[in-house]
Amino acid sequence: MDVVVVGSGPNGLAAAVTCARAGLSVRVLEAQPTVGGGSRTLDLGLAEGMLHDICSAVHPMAWASPFFQAFDLPSRGVELLVPEVSYAQPLPGGRAGIAYRDLDRTVDGLGPDGAAWRSLLGSLSRQPGHAVATALGDKRSVPAGLLPRGIPTAARFGLGVLEQGTSMWDRRFVGDVAPALLTGVAAHGIAPMPSLASAGVAMLLASLAHTEGGWPIPRGGSGAIVTALVADLEAHGGQVVTDHPVRSESDLPPARAIIFDTTPRTVVEVFGSRLTGRAARALTAFPYGNAAAKVDFVLRGPVPWQHADVGRAGTVHVGGTRAEMAAAEAAVAAGTHAERPMVLVSDPTVVDPSRGVGGLRPLWAYAHVPAGSTLDVTEAITAQIERFAPGFRDVVVTSRCVPAARMSEHNANYVGGDIAAGTVSLWRVIARPTARLDPYATGLDGVYLCSASTPPGPGVHGLGGWYAARRVLHREFDVPHPPRLAP
């Protein structure tokens, strides 16, 4: 075997596809009975024939990622359905911030803060390639395509991060709607707010919301992305073996290179005695962050949002005002449960009616909680949604909660429920998982990491896998140029 990939998340599969397309023999070993890690769509048995996205659901990064752009999901039958409203932020009093895909419409809706919204995000959303190159590079090289024309965009991105990631974050706004709308996006980082890391998340995702791709939802669920990756891997001679956890070297077949789509912990567990003390310490020191607890609902009708346009959004950030969300994330950072936690919600039937079954529909939701929390957050999420959608309780048929402490049972990468596979801070975006010149190297010859624990971090973009595989091809197999990814 040339290459073994441990873990079949989007990064692992991206690495596997890249190596297989270069003509290498590739085997992916997956611990779970199902392929796809954080991009799986499964029947949870909650309603007959209904499928739920057990992790990721909404895919601005899959649309924008240079890996997936080259891989060309649409021509492989993955339909990225684009909601008219990328995301919404319901507010007290029946008000709401609405991020339409159309920037002009968003600006009009934001009244006195419309111009500030445009000046912060307008030029970034016109140059998504430059914004993506700035935010989703390997943090060790100047991304191809950024020089020289992307420099102004990168500078604007950086200034936006400096403003929105510090005490200056209210500087440009006069009302409370636009700041809340942006903070709902920043909260994806599960980090204290304001902070530079959460502001980076906000600048990237908020600018992508106003692009052609918007915040898309794949028809049929996130698993469609996995199906396309596995089909391409198999077409190039690769294979995926499920129910195959790798816990020690004896679980690995002989291979010239091994790429771990896992946390660095697994590398230490598997190769501990062979790693130098320094390398092992660096990998072990990589910290894990706060967590998410997931609830999958089955509803008998749409969420009765007070503000009609919230019901047209692919994603709803349920956390109230900027101050309320900052307080909720501060509570989590302090290791406690927020009384009103940050909640993220998506109803895929907004763009994909085929997800509804027999008059029922799935609702995807999760709440931010402290690492390792064992709390069943169903009531906390229900109460938060009820604040902005009175009567929500009455449309709930059934639900299932996976508390943070149990997230690792279906994906070992979610240590303590940390869905980012490692803390998201400015330093840990760069030193992810270590400050080595090559963040994908582990200190052992032929052994690499490629998961969300490496740059550029969490999200379904496949870029960790792609960047790691390019290094593997170059160093281990003398292949200087990566293969074409197009179908």
Q: Which is nearer to ligand FAD, 268 or 389 (CB)?
A: 268
Q: Which is nearer to ligand FAD, 169 or 364 (CB)?
A: 364
The C-alpha atoms of residue 381 and residue 114 are separated, in whole angstroms, by 30
Q: What share of the chain is helix, strand, coil (3-state, %, to 5)?
A: 45, 15, 40
423 binding ligand FAD? (CB under 6 A): no
Q: Are strands 257-260 and 447-449 parallel, antiparallel or unpaired?
A: parallel
As to burial, measured by CB atoms within 10 angstroms (0-12 exposed, 13-18 middle, 19+ buried), residue 269 is middle
The C-alpha atoms of residue 410 and residue 294 are separated, in whole angstroms, by 12
- The CB-of-453 to ligand FAD minimum distance in angstroms stands at 7
The C-alpha atoms of residue 239 and residue 25 are separated, in whole angstroms, by 9
**Which residues are bridge partners to 478 per DSSP?**
none
- The CB-of-457 to ligand FAD minimum distance in angstroms stands at 8
- The CB-of-441 to ligand FAD minimum distance in angstroms stands at 17
Q: Which is nearer to ligand FAD, 259 or 310 (CB)?
A: 259
Q: Which is nearer to ligand FAD, 306 or 384 (CB)?
A: 384
416 binding ligand FAD? (CB under 6 A): no
| Phi and psi, residue 452, nearest 5° | -65, -10
Choice from 3, 8, 160, 439 touching ligand FAD (CB under 6 A):
8
7 binding ligand FAD? (CB under 6 A): yes
458 binding ligand FAD? (CB under 6 A): yes
Cβ atoms of 465 and 459 within 8 Å: the answer is no
User: Which 347-386 positions form the footprint of ligand FAD (CB under 6 A)?
Assistant: 366
Of residues 427, 482, 430, the one with CA closest to residue 456: 430
Residue 135 Cα to chain centre, angstroms: 13
CA atoms within 13 A on the CB side of 364: 26
131 binding ligand FAD? (CB under 6 A): no
- The CB-of-85 to ligand FAD minimum distance in angstroms stands at 16
The binding track of 284-303 with respect to ligand FAD, each residue x by CB under 6 A or -, is: --------x-x---------
Choice from 411, 425, 434, 442 touching ligand FAD (CB under 6 A):
411
Choice from 90, 289, 320, 459 touching ligand FAD (CB under 6 A):
459
213 binding ligand FAD? (CB under 6 A): no
- The CB-of-419 to ligand FAD minimum distance in angstroms stands at 4
The C-alpha atoms of residue 20 and residue 424 are separated, in whole angstroms, by 31
* Residue showing tokens 């409203």: 85
18 binding ligand FAD? (CB under 6 A): no
For 349, the token pair is 């039937």
The secondary structure of 378-399 as a DSSP string is HHHHHHHHHHHSTTHHHHEEEE
460 binding ligand FAD? (CB under 6 A): yes
* Residues across the chain: 487
Choice from 211, 262, 349, 373 touching ligand FAD (CB under 6 A):
262
The C-alpha atoms of residue 356 and residue 50 are separated, in whole angstroms, by 7
**Which residues are bridge partners to 157 per DSSP?**
none
| Phi and psi, residue 387, nearest 5° | -55, -35
The binding track of 42-71 with respect to ligand FAD, each residue x by CB under 6 A or -, is: -------------xxxxx-x----------
245 binding ligand FAD? (CB under 6 A): yes
3 binding ligand FAD? (CB under 6 A): no
Residues 6+ apart with CB under 8 A from 478: none
Choice from 20, 82, 240, 246 touching ligand FAD (CB under 6 A):
246
Choice from 4, 5, 16, 29 touching ligand FAD (CB under 6 A):
29
82 binding ligand FAD? (CB under 6 A): no
Residues 6+ apart with CB under 8 A from 62: 10, 68, 73, 80, 216, 218, 225, 460, 461, 462
343 binding ligand FAD? (CB under 6 A): no
Interface segment toward ligand FAD; rule CB under 6 A; list 77-85, 382-390, 408-416, 438-446? 408-416
Q: Which is nearer to ligand FAD, 110 or 268 (CB)?
A: 268
Choice from 86, 183, 195, 413 touching ligand FAD (CB under 6 A):
413
For 314, the token pair is 């692919």
Number of residues that bind ligand FAD (CB under 6 A): 39
* Residue showing tokens 């009455």: 394
Choice from 16, 17, 32, 238 touching ligand FAD (CB under 6 A):
32
Choice from 3, 9, 135, 319 touching ligand FAD (CB under 6 A):
9
For 297, the token pair is 């609902």
Site residues, ligand FAD (CB under 6 A)? 6-12, 29-32, 37-39, 55-59, 61, 245-246, 261-262, 266, 292, 294, 366, 411-414, 419, 451-452, 458-460, 464
